[in-house]
Structure 1
Amino acid sequence: MGLTSGKVLALAVVAAVGLFVGTVWLWPRLARRGWRNVGGRIGLLLSTQLMLFAAVGLVANQAFGFYASWADLFGQETEQGVVVDHTPTGGPLEVVDTRRVPGVAGARPHRGGQIQKIGIVGRTTHIATPAYVYLPPEYFQPQYRTRTFPAAVVLTGYPGTAKALVDKLDYPRTAARLAGDGRMQPMILVMMRPTVAPPRDTECVDIPGGPQTETFFAKDLIDAVSGHYRVGRKPGSWGIIGDSTGGYCALKLAMHHPRVYAAGAGLSAYYKAPTDPTTGDLFHGDEELRNRANLWWYLKHMPAPDTSLLVSSSKVGESNYKGTLKFIERVKATKLTRISSIILESGGHNFNTWRREIPGTLEWMSGRLSGR
């Protein structure tokens, strides 16, 4: 049974309740002195608490999509091998599965769109990673057969799962609803983790002697998707969205590569790459690389990028609120980079907050991209 299985959660809850009842029932019998009785009481208390923590952890994981499998939880990845399609019209992208868009009426793609699970291998970076692609209904309709579409990369936080962008944050269903209501244009969404070298958190940095994550997102990913799908190739065709770590990556990639990403949206983003046990040594003493990864430094010392940025926070519940207001003022001072924001009255660093921000973010992104 998988980590996200409802059966696993049900068993954990039943076990926690059973241990609690057993503790209450057996406690009088273990109330006497003696090492066996003391050990029994300690064992019951520890077992009950551990099972309770396990049940709460499983509930939190299902709600927020931190880990997709037991292998993911324990740092072992099961999707390292990706088949590369070398056909003349293909490229380093392989479609491994297709499915309907959850919550959207219409079983056929030209009615409800389609989600494709893909594997990508970067031509220059050799980074291999899975992703999900949302194709809107118009992509399959005859009258649009010669049309190219704008596309947006959508990134999770760390560690995150790409599947959570589909099933938990509802990006495809939200995009379909907004397009159906005429509030945004049909767009292709490429949904994935920024963690392309798991379990390491690379913060979308080209690490000296390590994964070239920034190059992967700025070049290899664009080339692979554009070679397989009808995506606009001119500047202004691509945007990037992310939450938390993915939000930092989205802002940084749009600022560093404005001719690739015409717009970048950072939901609950931070503005400087952290250094901790999950990242390891990202810069290896390269001060220029460290500075470029610091968005504050970049705005102050580098030419203002010709791109559009969106940031989000909340007055109560987000630790980045003051920093986000400061970042907005710093960007406004450049006169060239455009900045927009979503500021909620309250909302924590979680899926519920981001679901409230995603519709406005997709509308904003749609208004800044063109598929031609």
Structure 2
Amino acid sequence: MGLTSKKVLLLAVLFAVALFVLTIWLWPRLSRHNWRTVLGRVGLLLATQLSIFAAVGLLANNAHLFFGSWGELLGMKQDSVSTGPNGAKVKVLGIEHAGLPGGSRPQAAGRIEKVVLKGEKSKINSQAFVYLPPEYFQPEYAKKRFPASVVLTGYPGIAQNLFKKLDFPQTQHELVRKNKAQPTILVMMSPAVVQGRDTECVDVPNGPQTETFFTQDVRRDMAGHYRVGTDAKNWGVIGDSTGGYCALKMPMRHPKTFSTGVALSADYRAPRDAKTGDLFGGDKQLERENDLLWRQKNLPAAPVNLLVTSSKQGEPNYPDTLKFIQQTKSPGRIASIILDSGGHSFNTWRREIPAALEWMSGHLKA
């Protein structure tokens, strides 16, 4: 049974309750003052507390999906990233079920495929979850190339959050049904494509080439396997927190790759901490170029469409978001969603995602 299985959670809760009842029942019998009864009391208390801790931990993980599997929890190596026969750049590992309207029929519900993308240029291989809209499987769209958006979590984060908690495919499906958006392929990923390191979508000198992976390899792999457009006008990127920083930076630095970026509660510069290390190899100019507020103020603007979100109360990025909006120069174009209140959380992003996806769809071309 998987880490996020409801059966595992139910068993953990029942076990914790049973141990608590057992402790109450046995406590009078363990009241004697000898080493056996003392050890018995200590053992019962530890077992009960550990079982309660495990149940609460599983409950929190099911709510927020910090870890998607036992392997992730234990820090073990995850699914193979081999790319299949004949050097295929995309390997489909399976189908994910996310409760999309239309049941199991892809012509009505679309489909989410769990894949491995091979980074031929970056030498990075990573999992992704590709949402294919219903139209992808309908005969009248058989020769159509679809627009696509890379959808990124924050750090740390797992890609399953994007369809199990933030409902990106479900929201996209509903917007298309209401004629508020066009059918779009979503490439749902975590920016943490290098195990154990937060690279902030940077090509680290003498290190992981994460920026190259997202701006070149992902698009090339997708275009080689799916019916997606290959021009910048066909591609957007949306993300929250660290993913939001990436979603702004990649169009700004690579306007011939992404025409549109949406940042939910974004940072505007890369941190330096134990998880990132020195991302720029001591190169101060490279560091400045990855500081989006510095870049915006000191370098020519790219002709891209950007949307930023924040909250007047509850979001630490609010002052920087206002500065980013004010500093935007032509030919760059900026839009914003500013809530009166909202924290750095799934609840806030769920409020912003429908409008953000509708806005993005209006700027992508099929």
TM over 0.5: same fold? yes
Segment of structure 1 superposing worse, 55-64 or 239-248? 55-64
Q: Which amino acid aligns with 2:21?
A: V
1:34, distance to aligned residue in structure 2 (A):
7.1
Native 8 Å contact 1:85 1:93 kept in 2 = no
What's the counterpart of residue 7 of structure 1?
A: 7
1:45, distance to aligned residue in structure 2 (A):
4.4
Q: In the alignment, is residue 54 of structure 1 matched against residue 49 of structure 2? A: no
1:26, distance to aligned residue in structure 2 (A):
4.9
Distance (whole Å) between structure 1 residues aligned to residue 45 and residue 332 of structure 2: 58
Q: Which of the residues 345, 360, 367 maps onto 2:362?
A: 367
Distance (whole Å) between structure 1 residues aligned to residue 18 and residue 140 of structure 2: 60
What's the counterpart of residue 306 of structure 1?
A: 303
The alpha-carbon distance between structure 1 residues 34 and 323, as it changes in their structure 2 partners (threshold 3 A), is farther
The alpha-carbon distance between structure 1 residues 57 and 101, as it changes in their structure 2 partners (threshold 3 A), is closer
The alpha-carbon distance between structure 1 residues 329 and 53, as it changes in their structure 2 partners (threshold 3 A), is farther
1:175, distance to aligned residue in structure 2 (A):
0.8
Distance (whole Å) between structure 2 residues aligned to residue 5 and residue 101 of structure 1: 14
Native 8 Å contact 1:100 1:109 kept in 2 = no
Q: Which of the residues 234, 239, 242 maps onto 1:245?
A: 242
What's the counterpart of residue 342 of structure 1?
A: 337
What's the counterpart of residue 165 of structure 2?
A: 168
- State the identity as a percent: 55
Q: Which amino acid aligns with 1:18?
A: A
Distance (whole Å) between structure 2 residues aligned to residue 340 and residue 45 of structure 1: 56
Native 8 Å contact 1:80 1:129 kept in 2 = no
Q: Which amino acid aligns with 1:218?
A: T
What's the counterpart of residue 316 of structure 2?
A: 319
Segment of structure 1 superposing worse, 132-141 or 314-323? 314-323
Distance (whole Å) between structure 1 residues aligned to residue 39 and residue 121 of structure 2: 59
The alpha-carbon distance between structure 1 residues 55 and 314, as it changes in their structure 2 partners (threshold 3 A), is farther
Native 8 Å contact 1:120 1:131 kept in 2 = yes
Q: Which amino acid aligns with 1:6?
A: K
Partner SS state of residue 250, structure 1: helix
Distance (whole Å) between structure 2 residues aligned to residue 319 and residue 31 of structure 1: 53
Structure 2 alignment gaps of length 5 or more: none
Partner SS state of residue 162, structure 1: coil
Partner SS state of residue 160, structure 2: helix
Native 8 Å contact 1:101 1:113 kept in 2 = no
Native 8 Å contact 2:264 2:309 kept in 1 = yes
Native 8 Å contact 1:75 1:199 kept in 2 = no
Native 8 Å contact 2:152 2:189 kept in 1 = yes
User: What is the 5 A alignment of 1:1-372?
Assistant: 1-27=1-27, 43-86=43-86, 91-99=88-96, 102-331=99-328, 334-371=329-366
Native 8 Å contact 1:93 1:224 kept in 2 = yes
Q: Deviations over 1:180-235 (max 9, x none)?
A: 11000111111111111112221111112211000110111111111221212223
Structure 1 alignment gaps of length 5 or more: none
1:284, distance to aligned residue in structure 2 (A):
2.1
Distance (whole Å) between structure 1 residues aligned to residue 116 and residue 233 of structure 2: 25
Native 8 Å contact 2:238 2:244 kept in 1 = yes
1:29, distance to aligned residue in structure 2 (A):
5.8
Native 8 Å contact 2:219 2:230 kept in 1 = no
Native 8 Å contact 1:102 1:167 kept in 2 = no
How does the TM-score come out when normalised to structure 2? Answer: 0.92
Distance (whole Å) between structure 2 residues aligned to residue 340 and residue 36 of structure 1: 69
Distance (whole Å) between structure 2 residues aligned to residue 348 and residue 221 of structure 1: 31
Distance (whole Å) between structure 2 residues aligned to residue 40 and residue 324 of structure 1: 58
Native 8 Å contact 1:84 1:120 kept in 2 = no
How does the TM-score come out when normalised to structure 1? Answer: 0.90
1:117, distance to aligned residue in structure 2 (A):
1.7
Segment of structure 1 superposing worse, 256-265 or 276-285? 276-285
Q: Deviations over 1:339-359 (max 9, x none)?
A: 222222333322222222111
Native 8 Å contact 2:12 2:51 kept in 1 = yes
